[in-house]
Chains A and B, each alone.
Chain A
Amino acid sequence: MSERTKTLRKERLQGFLERLLEEREVFAPRRKGDAVVLERIDSAGDVLLDDENTQASPKFALFPQRETLFEYRAGTKGEVVLEVPRGEAKNQVLFGVRPCDARGLLLLDRVFSADCSDPYYGDKRARTVIIGMGCVHPNPACFCRSVGGGPCSAEGSDLFFLDLGDRFLVEAASDKGSALLEDQDLEEADETSLALSRGIREAAEASMGRLDVRENLGERLNRIFEDPAWKDLAETCLGCGICTYLCPTCHCFDLCDEGTGQGGQRIRVWDSCQFPLFTRQASGFNPRPTVKERFRQRIMHKFSYLPETHGMPGCVGCGRCITECPVNLDIREVITTLSEGNPR
C-alpha cells in the first residue's frame, strides 16, 4: 500500500471531523428517534458509527427532494423575467456513506451527466466529497455483492474508512480524497492494520452470500416481458412508491410551477414510476394502467434498461425497499424468481 492508505485512531475522529467542519458543510449519520439519518452536523459529537445504514439514501444532498430551478415574474412591459437562484456554493462532505450508496451516486452521476448535463446536480456534485464507510457486519437485507458491489468496496468514495476496532483504515480512493488526506495529520498504515483490514473485508464479504441471479438478467427480463409471472409478483404491491423514494438510484422527477402567472418558481420534485399519474396522458390514456405495468417498469428499468444505457444496474443492494415496504415485497425474491427457467 502507499501513502494513500493511513490509519486514524478512533479518539482522533472528532479532530478529523472538526478539521473538515472548518471549511465545509459536513453531513454524517446520526440517530434520530428510531431512524438513522444523514444530517448536517455543527460539531463532531454523536456521529453514529455502527453498521446500521441511514433510513434515506444520501441522494438528497445532490438531488434534493424539492429544488427551485428558476424564479419567474411578470415584467412591466408584458415580458417575463427569469432568474436562476445562485445558492451559496459551499463545499460539502458526506461522511459515513455506505458502499452501496456511494455506488448509487455513481449511477446518478451517469444519468445526470449523460448527453445533456444537468447543472443543478453537476454544481453540487463538483463540490461534494464522499467519505465512505465499510460495512463490517452487513445487515440482513443487504445484498450489494449480488448486484456488482461489495460491503467494503471503496468504489464511488473519495476517502474510504474501514473500522478496525480501535482505529479506522483510511484510504484515498480519488484525487479529491488524496487532497483531503494531505490536509489531515494521519498515521501511515502499518502492516498489522493492513492485515487486519484484509481479514475484516473477507469476513464481511463471506457473511453475505450471493443471490441466485442470472448473469444476463436484463436479456432474460426482455424476453419474459409478457410473462404472467409479473402479475403474480406485483399482486400485493400497493403502489405507494416508498421503494423509489428511498432508493439511492431512483431519480425520476416532476417539474411544476408554484405561484401564479405574475410570479413564482419552477420547481423540481421527486416523482415515482409507481404512481398512476406518472405516465397518464392528458387524454386519459395511460400506457401503464395497472400496478402490474408500473411494478414491471421499476424492475425493468433497474435490471434491463439502465445496464444497457448506463452500464450498471439501478440497484445497489442497500435493502431499503425491502425493510421499508409496507407489504414486505422483497426485490431479492423478485429477481431470483424472474431468473428461474420458468418463472411462475
Chain B
Amino acid sequence: MLKRMIYQRVVLAGLMVVHTCLPSSAEPLKIGMVATLTGAAAEPGRDETQCAKLAAEEVNKAGGVLGRPIELVIEDSQSTNPGSVLAFSKLTGDKDIPAFIGPIFSTQIQALAPDIQRIGKPVMIGGTDPQLTHMGNPWLFRFRPNDTYSARVIADYGVKTLGKKKWAIVYSTEAFGTNGMKNLVEALKGMGVEPALVQGYANNSQDFTAVVLAVKQSGADVMSTYMPFPPDLAIFARQLRQLGVNIAWVGSPSTVGTTALRLAGPALYGSYAVCDFAADSSPAAKEFATKYEANYKSAPDLYGAWAYDAVHVLALVIDNAKSLEPQKIREAILSVKGYPGVEGTYNFDQNGDGLRGYNIVKNDNGKIVFIKHIDFSE
C-alpha cells in the first residue's frame, strides 16, 4: 500500500515537472493557408509562405495567441483556381482552424468566395481587384491596398509631381491588366488628362517591338504599365531602351518585384513605380526586411509582405477578442485602427479593406529608393 502511494506520488511529481518544463505544451492554434507552392506562381508562393512563417515564429516567441502557439497549416493551390478550391476545402475539413490566410491572386479569391461565404470563417486576402471586398462577402479581409488606389497614385504622381500630361498606358489584356488600365484612364480623366495611347498586349509575348514603336509614335512623355509577368516586363523594358525610348515611366507594383529587377537589370533604371511594400517606407517595414534577409538570403517583396502583416494582425485580434468565434474575430479585425504593419498603417473599414495608399518608389541604378507614401481617406 505504502509502496503504491509512493509510486503514485513519484508519477505525479514527474508529470508536474514535465508540465512546468514545457509551458507551451498547450494545444497549438492552427491557422490555414492557401498558397501557390507549385505551378506558374510557385516563386511568389514561396515568398508568401516564408513571410507567414516568419510572422508565426515571432508571434510564438512573444507567447503565442491566447497562450497557445500558432501553427500554419499550408495547402498548395497549384497556382490554379480549381487547385485553390481543393486546397481550401482540405483546410476547412479541419474544424479546429478558426481563420485562414487566402491567396494573393484575385482570380483565385473569386473562385473561393462562394465556399468562404458558406463556411463563414474569416479569410485574409492579398488580391487587389477592388470588387473582392464589395460583393457582399463579409469574410474577406484585404491586407493590400486595392487597384483603384494604385491608379490614383500613379496619376497623381505623374501629373502633379512629374508634371506630365501626354500619357501612354501599356497593359496586359487579362483581368489584372485590364482593370488597372480602366482605373488609370478613369483617374487621369479626373485630372482632365486623355491618354495619348492605350495599348494592350497578351501575356507571354516574346517580342514587344510593336508595342515599343506604338509608344514611340504616340509622342507620349510619360508611360504607365500594368504588366503582371516579370519576363514580359523585362523583355519590354530592354526593347524600349534599345529603340531609344527614355520617357518617364511610372509602373504598377510588379515593376519593382525582385524577379523583374533581376531579369531587366539596367533597362529598368530610372523608372518609378507604385508599390504597396517598400522596405524604406516605415521603421516596421525596415525591421521586417532586415529580418527576412537574414532568414532567407533574399529581399522581401510585395508578394510576401502582406502575409506577414496578416498573420500578425490575426494573432492580435484573436487575443483581443479572447475568442475563436468567427463573428468575434470579424468584429475585432474591423475595429483595427492605426496598426503599424510593414505594408502601411492598417485602418479597416466595414468592407474589410485595411489599406488605402501606396508608396512611390524609384529604381535608382537597381536600388529601390522610397520617395513618398500617398494615403487616401477613402
A and B associate in one complex? no
- Identify the B interface with A (CB < 8 A): none
- Identify the A interface with B (CB < 8 A): none
